[in-house]
């Protein structure tokens, strides 16, 4: 049995936009249902949501069982090695790392996703052949092929990250730069003011750094119009929002319409 191919890693190199959604409810049923909506990717969030490694495992299984094109992504809560190891061992192939401020941090998280081998002699990922990612030991070539199938996305959320953006973008093993708009706006002194010229300039700086490095750039939008706006700016890996936000928005709207 061969190592499963990470289709998202390959698609990040293509010019087409990839639209996704954040999963924050810790629900495998919601994850399974949303694969049928046609998203290119679904991100299981461990940073600001009650998803631990067991919930991540259940949602990965639900997404994969649909046999649909949606690729699962996991945002880990920190740069801690044990958090990264658990996400990878339960089967995550694409990880988003919050708060990447320097090239050194980018290089370190990449090292924690790689098994040490001839190509990555400084890899720090611990080897365990019986984990879910290796089909519980049945996928015997997993360790040999896993490195090539892992995608690393660096989240850009601060003025410091902007100052180091070119070095982060060119760090070997980084596949995409992803803007956390709220934290980035706050860091540069414009919290909540997404239309400020300085904010737009900051966003464009990320897009341009990614393009120069030959990698993708992404961002969190809150609706379809925002996603179109960011796509026109040059972002290609775009979240249309968060599952619980869409749930609350649509149910409130329906209730208001019924009562009116």
Residues forming the active site: 48
Please tell me the distance from the alpha carbon of residue 52 to that of residue 59, in angstroms, as a whole number: 11
Please tell me the distance from the alpha carbon of residue 249 to that of residue 182, in angstroms, as a whole number: 19
Pinpoint the alpha helices (H) of 17-134.
28-35, 53-65, 81-89, 103-113
Please tell me the distance from the alpha carbon of residue 160 to that of residue 103, in angstroms, as a whole number: 11
10 Å CB burial of residue 204 (0-12, 13-18, 19+) is middle
CB half-sphere exposure, 20, CA atoms < 13 A? 27
Please tell me the distance from the alpha carbon of residue 34 to that of residue 59, in angstroms, as a whole number: 11
**190: which 2 tokens?**
């414009």
Please tell me the distance from the alpha carbon of residue 209 to that of residue 217, in angstroms, as a whole number: 9
10 Å CB burial of residue 183 (0-12, 13-18, 19+) is middle
CB half-sphere exposure, 99, CA atoms < 13 A? 7
């Amino acid at each position: 049995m061969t190592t499963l191919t990470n289709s998202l890693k390959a698609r990040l190199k293509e010019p087409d936009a990839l639209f996704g959604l954040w999963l924050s409810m810790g629900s495998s049923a919601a994850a399974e249902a949303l694969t049928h909506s046609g998203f290119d990717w679904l991100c299981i969030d461990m940073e600001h949501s009650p998803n631990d490694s067991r919930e991540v495992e259940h949602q990965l299984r639900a997404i994969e069982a649909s046999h649909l094109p949606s690729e699962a992504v996991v945002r880990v809560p920190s740069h801690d090695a044990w958090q990264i190891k658990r996400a990878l061992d339960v089967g995550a192939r694409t990880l988003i790392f919050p708060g990447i401020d320097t090239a050194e941090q980018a290089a370190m998280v990449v090292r924690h996703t790689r098994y040490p081998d001839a190509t990555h002699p400084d890899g720090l990922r611990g080897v365990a052949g019986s984990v879910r990612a290796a089909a519980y030991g049945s996928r015997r070539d997993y360790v040999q092929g896993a490195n090539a199938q892992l995608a690393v996305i660096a989240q850009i959320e601060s003025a410091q990250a902007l100052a180091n953006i070119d070095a982060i973008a060119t760090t070997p093993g980084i596949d995409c730069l992803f803007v956390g708009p709220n934290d980035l706006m706050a860091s540069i002194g414009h919290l909540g003011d997404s239309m400020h010229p300085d904010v737009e300039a900051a966003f464009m700086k990320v897009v341009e750094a990614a393009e120069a490095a030959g990698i993708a750039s992404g961002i969190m939008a809150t609706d379809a119009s925002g996603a179109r706006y960011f796509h026109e700016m040059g972002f290609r890996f775009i979240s249309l929002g968060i599952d619980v936000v869409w749930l609350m928005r649509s149910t409130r709207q329906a209730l208001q319409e019924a009562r009116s």
